[in-house]
Amino acid sequence: MSIKLSESPTTTQPLLGATLEELTAWVVSKGQPAFRGKQLHDWIYNKGVRSLADITAFSKQWRAEIADTPIGRSTLHYNSEAPDGTVKYLLRLSDGEIVETVGIPTFKRGGKSSRKYARNPSSNSSPNSLERLTVCVSTQVGCPMACDFCATGKGEYKRNLSRSEIIDQVLTVQEDFGERVSNIVFMGMGEPLLNTKNVLDAIRALNQDVGIGQRNITVSTVGIRSRIREFAQHHLQVTLAVSLHAPNQALREKLVPTARSYPIEDLITECREYVEITGRRLSFEYILLAGVNDLPEHARELAKLIRGFQCHVNLIPYNPITEVDYKRPQRQSIETFVDILKEKNVAVSVRYSRGLEADAACGQLRVANSNN
């Protein structure tokens, strides 16, 4: 593992995302003993403190001195829970922008599918019914990629999220559920590889400071020329998922307009390089739109395109959004698509998104404003 990317905290950079060493250097620079760095780290990452003024381990006088240094926590603007226990949060950032994040609990067989239970396990019957808690994090406010089937791209693109704004989403879900987050998917609003530096810094902190295994982290990208290769150079153990969505350039361009400047063959070549450089298998995401890209011929063409590749295909049946009239395929055509890929020895699974009823499923996150 080699991530060494974070910067020292500065007055403009909130503390969330800083390493133990950086926090220690910071407290020492303020004339405090070095062990206060460890305390600060614990209060920020484990205790979830929102203001330095609330760190009771520090003297009142010093707290008053440092109270204005931001930690980088957002405030909760709104949340809603789907019947499957998935919770969508709208978080207000320091400049008033709103970003969406999603908490996705997975319950053990027979476990309760209610967040109330997950949040307060002692209140109800069978203990430990939560098997996994996944957070779907956003990396930008809005998204400039404008994929035709995705709600995020229908709104206005605003800006990249900072490292602290990314990490904050994970801590927020962890605190609300009262459970450790086990998995992170960078599949919320935005294109992670347009914000690589902050995404890498956030991954470092989520891994080393929050304690989430790199192998439990997935970064999803639509594919930006040369960025996948650059990402590979960091030799992370995270999973890279590439949103392919079509087996040829003509169809891909229709669904993903930014693909016009990045031929599918070049994308696949870069993906192959990624596998060579990292030794990690890569995932392809493929949204299934009835009659558009879900026909048997598409499955065959897809299998051919990714032949001889260490990869896994994740099929995502389309989640409806209001702006376009695509349809989710019938179960039968999904099964046929899967069978063809399997026959051609392609590792494949179907991912039914969670949180549909709370508009929290893949592609349903949209730009909100604080008046909503």
Active-site annotation, residues: 100, 362
Under the binding rule (CB under 6 A), the answer on residue 360 touching ligand SAH is no
Which residue lies nearer to ligand SAH by CB, 27 or 299? 299
Under the binding rule (CB under 6 A), the answer on residue 294 touching ligand SAH is no
Pairing between β-strand 311-317 and β-strand 282-288 as defined by DSSP bridges: parallel
The torsion angles phi and psi of 127, rounded to 5 degrees, stand at -75, 165
Nearest residue by C-beta to ligand SAH? 363
Site for ligand SAH in 214-243 (CB under 6 A): 220-222, 243
Within a 10 A sphere around the Cβ of 348, how many other Cβ atoms?
22
DSSP 108: P
Cα distance between residue 71 and residue 255, in whole Å: 40
Under the binding rule (CB under 6 A), the answer on residue 201 touching ligand SAH is no
Under the binding rule (CB under 6 A), the answer on residue 187 touching ligand SAH is yes
The candidate with the shortest Cα–Cα distance to 112, out of 89, 84, 132, is 84
The torsion angles phi and psi of 39, rounded to 5 degrees, stand at -65, -45
Pairing between β-strand 87-92 and β-strand 75-81 as defined by DSSP bridges: antiparallel
Nearest distance from residue 311's CB to ligand SAH, in Å?
14
Instruction: Select the residue interacting with ligand SAH from 104, 316, 340, 368 (CB under 6 A).
Output: 316
Under the binding rule (CB under 6 A), the answer on residue 285 touching ligand SAH is yes
Binding mask 319-358 for ligand SAH (x = CB under 6 A): x-x-------------------------------------
Nearest distance from residue 218's CB to ligand SAH, in Å?
10
DSSP 362: T
The candidate with the shortest Cα–Cα distance to 39, out of 13, 66, 79, is 66
Residues that bind ligand SAH (CB under 6 A): 145, 147, 149-150, 187, 191, 220-222, 243, 285, 287, 316, 318-319, 321, 362-363
